[in-house]
Amino acid sequence: MTLTPEQKQAVSEWVAAGDNLSAIQKKLIEKFKLSLTYMDVRFLVDDLNLSLKDAAPKASDDLSQAPAGKAPAPEKKGFLDKAKEKLGLGGEPEATPEALEDELAAAGGAVSVTVDRATLIPGAIASGSVTFSDGVTGQWVVDNQGRPGFTAISQPGYRPTPADGQAFMQELNLALQKRGL
């Protein structure tokens, strides 16, 4: 797909203004009725030799711990961090791995994940159920882009503990690997 010079200029302006790929994707749909995938937008930005700006640090970030004259490097999020946010596990304060292991051991590590033999949910590559250490159950799904999420939870407004969230992600990863997904 080729863009008009006007469309290329608009994308350049959006990148210069600090928009991320998702925002650019939405603006292309709204302003030009161009429906591009997230990856297509990524390639478009690369083809135009544009560089996305890093997110500006929040005012609440503590800059007092940074060395004099240096701003702290922006935090990069990996797959697990993004998955935790998607699952609603990102709002809790960060815990050390040792604290998570202690909490998981105290909970008995009783998070169990099962994978459905057949996934009947459109757009999903896998689905199944989970039982957290406190007995709350839920139905999970992994969409065709590899993003996990919950479709149902037995207790409205429930947020698993950080240890349960970590255990869920690990158990889900193991269960999907066993299935070759």
The answer as to whether 80 is a domain residue is no
- Predicted confidence at residue 104, as pLDDT, reads 44
Q: Are residues 103 and 170 in the same domain?
A: yes
Residues pairing with 33 in the sheet: none
Which domain range does residue 27 map to?
5-47
Q: Are residues 93 and 157 in the same domain?
A: yes
Q: Are residues 94 and 174 in the same domain?
A: yes
Q: Are residues 105 and 165 in the same domain?
A: yes
User: What stretches in the chain show pLDDT beneath 50?
Assistant: 60-64, 66, 92-93, 97, 100-101, 104-105, 107-108
93, burial (CB in 10 Å: exposed 0-12, middle 13-18, buried 19+): exposed
How far apart CA 124 and CA 121 sit, in angstroms, is 6
Q: Examine the fold and report which residue of 17, 32, 47 is the final residue of a domain before the chain moves on.
A: 47
- Predicted confidence at residue 9, as pLDDT, reads 92
Q: Are residues 95 and 174 in the same domain?
A: yes
Considering the chain, what is the average pLDDT of its residues? Answer: 77
